[in-house]
């Protein structure tokens, strides 16, 4: 088994070798490490992409908008990923961004995961019938189950989820009420003596 350190170093060097700058190559190294840590086939898809990179021209998006459509080609997942990560704070205001055709979409995934941590919001990544919930770069929840990842995602949606509770007020209140059963009712004597601060702290 390869260690994550080996995965990161080799991905970084390979990315530099195919023409990305060292700074971008560092980002790819971290991202592939993350994919493999979460058990996604990062090395496999990076390899597929780099084996075809000379033959398969991809569009390099720079400034990301709400809706993004390439001129003719699919978007390069790495250039898109790095720019998305860099611009995530400004993209957040759109609530949702769409992309037509992203090549090797799994390679875009770790950049979204890291963006989720940067902006402090969960991000939902949807394409075809696949959904990925990026939870602050702590984990990735998905309905993807061991099936082959596509080499192109046709219609992609990236949604910034508002920080909202997943439960109702009633559910919370019921649970809170139960939790109160661990509290002790304070008598007058306890009120006088059990708190750390004095009662005359406004003199």
Partner 1 sequence: MNVELRDPNIIMKLSRLGSFHQSKLSFLRSFLYEFKDWDYKRDLFDLDKDGFGVVVYSFKKRERVYSLICFANKIKDDERSDRVIATKWDAAFTLHDGVPDKNDIDRLKKEVPKQEVGRLSYKELTLSRANKSVRVFDHVVESLSNGVQPNLELLEKVGYLYRTTAVYGSGKFGLADRFRIKNRKEINGPFRLEMMLVYLVRQFTFDQVNHVAKMKNPNKAVKLDAKICKNLGIGNSTGLGMAPFIVNHPTLLNNWILCRETALKKIREIKNVNNEDSILFKNCVRDSIKNITSWNTESEYQQKKIKHLLNDVRKFTDFVEKKFDFKKDYPFNEIYLWLEKETCDECIEYIVSIMMEPYNEIIEPLIKQMSSEEERYFNIPTDRTTDELRKIIEKKYSNILSINFKKEENFKKFWFISKNKEEPRLADRFEEQGSELEQPLAIARDIKRLHDKLTLLKTDLTIDKFLIDNSDLRHVVRRAFIIEKFPYSEIQDNTISEKIVPIDMLRLKLSFFGALKFDPRSDKWLRICMFQGAPLPEELKNYDEQWVYKSHS
Give the tokens for residue 110: 């770790």
Q: CB atoms < 10 A from the CB of 85, how many?
A: 19
Instruction: Point out which residues bind partner 1 (CB under 8 A).
Output: 1-6, 13, 20-24, 26-27, 30, 62-63, 82-83, 85-87, 89-90, 114, 117-118
92 or 131, CB closer to partner 1? Answer: 92
Closer to partner 1 by CB, 24 or 151: give it: 24
Is the backbone of residue 191 left (phi > 0), alpha (psi -120 to 50) or beta? alpha
Q: Tell me how far, at minimum, the Cβ of 89 lies from partner 1, in Å.
A: 5
Q: How far is the CB of 28 from partner 1 (least distance, A)?
A: 12
Q: Looking at beta carbons only, is 47 or 87 nearer to partner 1?
A: 87
Exposed, middle or buried by CB within 10 Å (0-12, 13-18, 19+), for 101?
Answer: buried
Contact 154, 100 (CB under 8 A): yes
Q: Provide, rounded to whole angstroms, the least separation between the CB of residue 4 and partner 1.
A: 5
Using the minimum distance from each CB to partner 1, give the nearer residue, 52 or 61. 61
Min dist. Cβ of residue 18 to partner 1 (A): 13
Determine phi and psi for 178, rounding to 5 degrees: -60, -40
Smallest distance from partner 1 to CB 180, Å: 35
Q: Which is nearer to partner 1, 62 or 145 (CB)?
A: 62
Cβ 144 to partner 1 shortest distance, Å: 24
DSSP bridge partners of 159? 96, 124
User: Which residue number, 117 or 131, has a Cβ lying nearer to partner 1?
Assistant: 117
| Pair 8, 30: CB distance under 8 Å | yes
């Amino acid at each position: 088994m390869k260690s994550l350190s080996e995965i990161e170093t080799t991905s970084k060097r390979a990315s530099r070798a195919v023409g990305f700058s060292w700074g971008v190559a560092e980002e790819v190294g971290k991202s592939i490490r993350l994919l493999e840590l979460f058990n996604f086939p990062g090395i496999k898809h990076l390899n597929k992409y780099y084996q075809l990179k000379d033959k398969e021209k991809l569009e390099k998006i720079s400034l990301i908008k709400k809706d993004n459509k390439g001129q003719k080609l699919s978007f390069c997942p790495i250039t898109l990923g790095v720019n998305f990560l860099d611009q995530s704070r400004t993209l957040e205001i759109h609530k949702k961004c769409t992309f037509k055709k992203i090549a090797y979409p799994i390679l875009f995934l770790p950049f979204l995961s890291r963006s989720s941590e940067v902006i402090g919001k969960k991000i939902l990544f949807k394409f075809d019938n696949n959904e990925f919930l990026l939870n602050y770069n702590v984990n990735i929840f998905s309905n993807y189950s061991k099936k082959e990842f596509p080499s192109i995602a046709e219609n992609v949606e990236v949604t910034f989820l508002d920080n909202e509770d997943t439960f109702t007020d009633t559910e919370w209140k019921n649970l809170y009420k139960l939790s109160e059963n661990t509290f002790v009712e304070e008598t007058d004597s306890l009120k006088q003596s059990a708190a750390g601060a004095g009662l005359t702290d406004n003199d």
